[in-house]
Chains A and B, each alone.
Chain A
Amino acid sequence: MKSAIIKAFAFLAKEFHDVRRQPRLLLSLVGGPLLVLAAFGATFQTANPFISTVLVWPEDGVPGIDQAQAEQFIGRNFYLTKVTSDREEALAMLDEGRVDVVQIIPDVTQEEAIAQERPQIEVYSRTVDPNLEGWVRSLAYGEMNFINRQLLAREAQVAQDKAREIDVSLEDAASQFRLLQENFDAEQIERAETQARELRLALVGFVDFLPPISQAQANLAPELTRIHRDTEILIDDLGEFEQVLASGEVATRMERLASTVDEIEALHGTVGEFVGVPPENIVSPVQETYRNLRGTPYTMVIFYTPAVLALLVQQLAITLGSLGLVRERQMGSYEMFRVSPLRFSQILLGKSVAYVLYVTVAGVILTGLLALLKVPLPVHWVQHLVLLILLATASTGIGFLISALSQTDSQAIQLTMLLLLLSIFFTGFFLPLSGFSWPAWIVGALLPMTHALEGFQDLLLKGDSVTPGIMTVLVFISLLAYGLVLVIMRRQYRRMAH
């Protein structure tokens, strides 16, 4: 046992001396990653793409929409380079590649808007980038909603004005009908008939001004629904009332008169509610309220830091591991190892401890230095240390696996770079894994970074503990990688002898 420890320690000491004599390597272990993060922090502005656009705005404007307001809204998501009313000029700019997107707002009249003729907002681009196209379509959809809301709000305002006018007619009719209740004579009956007819016609005209209620606009305010309903009821009621007044029994007519007065008062109340609601609430009564229960969200730089830390630690360990064995092979050291009383597991153990130690120390220093970028320090340092060790161990194991499969160090470097690409795409670094199909999940699950990233986010950003599942998976990846390395290397040893 003592001898086995001495043999493994020989490799540990050798690697230690080898690395400490390379100050540039030492510097790159810690300084390099920190510089990368600092550069990221200093230069990162937004995750949204930069999309330049030309807005084609109708010469006569859009009823209900202020141009400045529209420009401000569009400018939130696009870099608005020009506003013009010349459609051809804008499309020429797109053809020449001077802008990414052209947005053409239709020349819509108030009547068209009210009549719901659904004029089109045209959006053009020439992009080959599917992501950019996704962004443009999503932003155009947002703009369409914005314009629709503005138009509907304008419509609601007009309807409210008409409702105020109708309310006067309602009051006049109600007064006339009460007079009839008091003096039920021919003159009052005639006046009431005229009043009822005029009111009915006014109400029929009023309905046309009300924003329509349809399934697509189900998010309209309840006041609008009620005024629609009560107006329709009163129109029907007034029609019947006119007929009853002309030919019915006195008792029936009086009963009908009382009912109509009630309906008028009901509509009067509804109109009062309708005109009291702000127009924008009528067309868009639901508003979002968002509250982050963890407090203020982090900046993008801080948010990405755990992922960058996981990526750097993983790649550092993989690089050391992948070169660790292949260089010995190229140097011819295997011949010496084969002759000496060494087990391959002792070589692997000695080298692993050295690399894991280096990478972990580099990871701890890096974590401390991240405070300079205002990244929160882990609440649970011990767990952070354990996670770093497990990530370094699993990654070193994968590095050794690359080494075992490579004949030269350039092959090993190529495979390491390939793994870097896999880590960028399939670990949730910047593309969520849920957006991929299942084969990508397997790749992601086998990469230590996928799990470490989650653990570092828990520790650094959320101030939580690491879930035992993350630690367990990293142990499993380590065992799998080291197991495979031992099998492959033993086979290579045997092949050398036979």
Chain B
Amino acid sequence: MTTTDLTQNGHDFLVMQEASLDFGGGAGVFDLTFSLPPGVILGMIGPSGCGKTTTVRLLNGIYGPTGGEVRVFEKDPLKFTNGDKARIGYIPQHSLLYANLSAEENLHFLGGMYGMSSRERKARMPELMEFVELTEARKRLARQLSGGMQRRLMLAGALLHEPDLLFADEPTAGIDPILRARIWDNFRELRDQGKTLLVTTQYVGEAAYCDLVALMRRGRLVTIDTPAGLRRQALDGEGIHFQVDGSRALEVMQFLEGLPQVKRTERVPAEPDGILAFVEDAGEELQVLLATLKEHKGITPRVAEPYLPPFDEVFVRLIHRSEETE
């Protein structure tokens, strides 16, 4: 799916149109505009306090907007019926497990809150416990579970009533990378089952797991795009990484910048013989540039490959650009 496909579907589960919630003193979220079709994972990424949780709370009806419009399932979340609420699963930022209840009892409580009968809960629970890999720990008290296990138990609790839309507010916060990857595997599996997920995170690297990524800063949406689209935005196109003899690096850079298909070049920080050349389509231009270099300069770079910058770098570039625009 392209970015356009993902954000401008006619049957969006979730729409924010210039939605704002002003807490005063610069706090809140402002002019958020985006939409989300069913069956995708939207990752909301941004530093702490940028408005991710407030956005989630606007979407699930905890808060009402002070401006603009918020619609989920084509309804104002503040006017959700019980039926609408039952279509939503929610993992809040903080653990809401009851310490003196076992993992299973916590799930029974959460299922009961959604009106599921004991039989329904019992039928669904083994599958879910298996899904979050907590079958062995189901009798353990919540206070005896590790942080990662607690987050996975929260995930199971949010899925017990089989929601169509899942809001997960920083579900991987404070968890080691292996467990984080496991939780994202769970999310992707849910997406593959047709569920829609909105996941907030401070770990920018997790953007890679998402279908769409919304970058937030100071209560505003900097951009929303696919992970690849974000890279393109950050790099203003696509990058090609070359490694040449250090003594000729400057010469190669100047030559490449003179070519019409090359937008600009950069030295690779901490890599003396590394050069980055930015073009519209790296896959298309890579071979052309290699041939041109050999033909005109007699140089064959040691390395010539599409440049896939880590998302940390992508976000730093996007944030800097946003600051420059302001």
Are A22's CB and B61's CB within 8 A? no
Given A14-B105, A497-B63; A21-B115 close (CB under 8 Å): no
A334 closest partner in B (C-beta):
B62
Are B141's CB and A21's CB within 8 A? yes
Residue of A18, A22, A339, A497 with most partner-chain B CB within 10 A: A339
Given A22-B100, A497-B64; A341-B109 close (CB under 8 Å): no
Are B90's CB and A18's CB within 8 A? no
Kindly identify, within residues 1 to 53 of chain A, every residue whose CB is under 8 Å from any CB belonging to chain B: 2-4, 6-7, 9-11, 13-14, 17-18, 21-22
In angstroms, Cα B115 to Cα A128, docked, is 64
In angstroms, Cα B116 to Cα A9, docked, is 11
B118 closest partner in A (C-beta):
A6
Chain B residues contacting A498 (CB-CB under 8 Å) are: 64
Are B115's CB and A341's CB within 8 A? yes
Min CB distance A215 to B, Å, is 76
Are A14's CB and B88's CB within 8 A? no
Are A339's CB and B60's CB within 8 A? yes
Interchain CB contact (< 8 A) of B114 among A4, A18, A332, A340:
A340
A327 closest partner in B (C-beta):
B98
B115 closest partner in A (C-beta):
A3
Interface size, chain A (Cβ < 8 Å): 28
Are A341's CB and B85's CB within 8 A? yes
Min CB distance B14 to A, Å, is 14
Q: Does A492 contact B (CB under 8 A)?
A: no
In angstroms, Cα B92 to Cα A333, docked, is 9
Are B101's CB and A336's CB within 8 A? no
Interchain CB contact (< 8 A) of A341 among B62, B86, B108:
B86
Chain B residues contacting A6 (CB-CB under 8 Å) are: 112, 115-117
Kindly identify, within residues 86 to 105 of chain B, every residue whose CB is under 8 Å from any CB belonging to chain A: 86, 88, 90, 92, 94, 96, 98, 100-102, 105
Interchain CB contact (< 8 A) of A332 among B85, B94, B102, B116:
B94
Are A17's CB and B92's CB within 8 A? no
Are B88's CB and A339's CB within 8 A? yes
In angstroms, Cα B64 to Cα A400, docked, is 27
In angstroms, Cα B63 to Cα A496, docked, is 6
In angstroms, Cα B90 to Cα A336, docked, is 7
Q: Does B78 contact A (CB under 8 A)?
A: yes
Are A18's CB and B100's CB within 8 A? yes
Given A13-B108, A336-B92; A497-B100 close (CB under 8 Å): no
A335 closest partner in B (C-beta):
B92
B109 closest partner in A (C-beta):
A14
B92 closest partner in A (C-beta):
A335
Which 7 pairs across A and B sit closest by C-beta, in order of nearness? A10-B112, A341-B82, A3-B115, A21-B100, A341-B85, A14-B109, A339-B90
* Interface residue ranges, B against A (CB under 8 Å): 57, 60-64, 78, 82-83, 85-86, 88, 90, 92, 94, 96, 98, 100-102, 105, 108-109, 111-117, 141
Q: List 13 A-B contacts (CB under 8 A).
A: A2-B115, A4-B115, A6-B116, A10-B111, A10-B112, A14-B105, A17-B102, A18-B100, A332-B96, A336-B92, A341-B85, A341-B86, A496-B62
